[in-house]
Amino acid sequence: MSVKKIVVIPGDGIGTEITDTAQRVLDTVAKKSNLNLEFQNAFAGGAAIDVYGVPLPEETLSAVRACDAVLLGAVGGPKWDKVSPDIRPEKAILGLRKALGLYANLRPIRVSEVLTDYSPLKNEIVAGVDVLIVRELTGGIYFGDKCESETVNGVEQAWDREIYTVPEITRIVRVACEAAAKRRGQVTSVDKANVLASSRLWRRVVDQAVKEYAGIEVSHMYVDNCAMQMVLAPKKFDVIVTSNLFGDILSDEAAVITGSIGMLPSASIGDGPSLYEPIHGSAPDIAGQGLANPIGTILSAAMLLRFSLNEEAAATRIEQAVDQVLAQGYRTADLYRDGLTKVSTEEMGRLVEKYI
């Protein structure tokens, strides 16, 4: 079994607690599944500013370029609120995306049966939700030309340009189809083709690209309808693929219906090493107290096994262990209620290891 190198970037705030916990879970599953994982720690964010004076030092960049996958905690915090804007901790995330060419963001939204009460939606609507949002991450209106202000015929205006190329759309659709092949095989492509030219190209390219994948069913949905369906009938979705702008909004909408920010993992995928991180920030308000929920990071580690190392069985093993721990009533402080058992960040990790 060849060695797989994983760079762990704890970052700031709760980052160290949650990545330590997830790394131990990876170690345990590696032993049980006969995998050879090697870990290397690297600095990013505020922690890197303290040591190197910049949020993303060259040492970290060379480590991530030479590894098989990156596991990140979170960056940022009040300690670095006053640093100069060009070295803000959050710049590390954009820098990593750029350095690794991470063009696809994957956010699975699952609502386990035992957590439906935390959702702002009715139990019967959210129970069993299992959707994967695949968002294009390096193109579209966020990266197009823009004009902050110009005056035309005496009237001030501003504009942003949305451009998508055929290769950009094709590669993101491929990511969605490959993910769907490991799930229920249904891809919903979300656009605004009734209004936008870039969406009409998007739709045409989706129909073409999906032909490479036998057994994948594709349908198209307008973004406004998708936003409504996400709260009316989220269970109908398997994989959603969409542009940078629409994906930004839809993935946050989908996250909020779970009612538990600490539980959600994500992956950012490119042609080289991919990056895995929980969707939440560094939660400085609870850092260092054992209060952080490590499950978003543990499930990010499961995604790392699935997408970067192709170890589906080991990934599922972690996910099932998490479900079992939750079903036994164990909760970190964020999700604790009367009648359940409150555990610390580290204890939650140990329980997951036990069920693996």
Q: Which stretch binds ligand NAD (CB under 6 A): 200-208, 230-238, 240-248, 292-300?
A: 292-300
Closest approach of ligand NAD to the CB of residue 147, in Å: 27
Would you say 189 or 274 has its CB closer to ligand NAD? 274
- Can you tell me the distance from the alpha carbon of 60 to that of 69, in angstroms, rounded to the nearest whole number? 13
| Window of 112-120, 130-138, 267-275, 286-294 that interacts with ligand NAD by CB under 6 A | 286-294
The stretch among 2-10, 207-215, 226-234, 274-282 that binds ligand NAD (CB under 6 A) is: 274-282
252 Cβ contact list (under 8 Å, min separation 6): none
Selected from 248, 334, 346, 347, the binder of ligand NAD by CB under 6 A is 334
| Footprint of ligand NAD on 313-332 (CB under 6 A) | none
Q: Which letter, b or e, does each residue of 62-100 get, where b requires 16 or more Cβ atoms within 10 Å of its Cβ?
A: ebbeebbbbbbbbbbbeebeeeeeebbbbbbbebbbebb
What is the Cα–Cα distance from 41 to 318, expressed in whole angstroms? Answer: 22
Residue 129 DSSP code: -
Contact between 286 and ligand NAD per CB under 6 A: yes
Q: Which is nearer to ligand NAD, 188 or 300 (CB)?
A: 300
- Toward ligand NAD, which CB reaches closer, 14 or 134? 14
Residue 27 designated active-site: no
Confirm whether 248 is a catalytic residue: yes
CB 65 within 8 A of CB 59: no
Helix/strand/coil percentages in the chain, nearest 5: 50, 20, 30
The verdict on 47 binding ligand NAD (CB under 6 A) reads no
Spatial contact of 164 and 196, defined as CB atoms under 8 Å apart: no
Stretch that binds ligand NAD, among 23-31, 125-133, 159-167, 283-291 (CB under 6 A): 283-291
Annotation marks residue 86 as catalytic: no
Measured CA angle at 285 (ends 73, 97), to 5 deg: 30
Q: Is there binding between residue 76 and ligand NAD (CB under 6 A)?
A: yes
**Residue 189, SS3 per DSSP:** strand
Question: For ligand NAD, which residue of 10, 57, 77, 139 counts as binding (CB under 6 A)?
Answer: 77
CB of 319 to ligand NAD, least distance (A): 17
CA dist 342 and 291 (Å) reads 10
DSSP letter, residue 236: G
Cβ partners under 8 Å of residue 289, min gap 6: none
Q: Decide if residue 306 touches ligand NAD (CB under 6 A).
A: no
Nearest distance from C-beta of residue 333 to ligand NAD, angstroms: 7
Chain-centroid distance, C-alpha 20:
19
- Binding-site size, ligand NAD (CB under 6 A): 21
Would you call 252 a catalytic residue per the annotation? yes
Alpha-carbon separation of residue 163 from 146, 160, 202 (angstroms): 11, 10, 10
Closest distance to ligand NAD from the beta carbon of 22 (Å): 11
Minimum distance of ligand NAD from residue 218's CB (angstroms) = 30
91 part of the interface to ligand NAD, by CB under 6 A? no
Interface with ligand NAD by CB under 6 A: which residues? 14, 74-77, 90, 93, 261-262, 277, 280-286, 292-293, 296, 334
Q: Which residues are catalytic?
A: 142, 192, 224, 248, 252
